[in-house]
Amino acid sequence: MANLNPTKSISLRTLSVTVLILGIVTFLIGFEQLFIQGTYLKLINNYLHFVVWFNFLSGIVYLVTGYGIWHVKPWAVYLSLLIVVFSIIVLAALGVHMFIDGQFRVWQIIEMGIKVLIWSLILIFISKKFGLKGWA
């Protein structure tokens, strides 16, 4: 049977809930921007589509990672690493797109930079809390 005992660490609980909320918000915003005809439909032409798709899909990964942090699963560290790596790749692609095409939104660059920073800090924190050797 699966281990359903959540962590007793208040800091990990808080981080887990924060990551879950971030995942829900990221997923819902991406979903609305991509699929719902509403206020964002007219604005989506102002977005770089690959960034919107990345944010939408990463929201799902955030939810799984939040679950893993709550249950102190080592794979949550690996998912956090994947989030950091792919966020850096998307940020680099955004930079390349900016120089080639010239069209970009400053807030998307700032948002991706903040995402890399936050997830790097989460990665360092949970790798230490989980006691994984060879990490931060």
pLDDT in tens, 98-115: 888 777 677 778 888 999
Inter-axis angle of helices 10-35 and 49-70, nearest 10: 150
Q: Tell me, what's the pLDDT at 95?
A: 85
Q: What is the pLDDT of residue 8?
A: 78
Using a cut of 0.75, tell me whether the model's pTM lies above it.
yes
End-to-end CA separation in angstroms for the chain? 31
Q: Which residues in the chain land under pLDDT 50?
A: 1-4
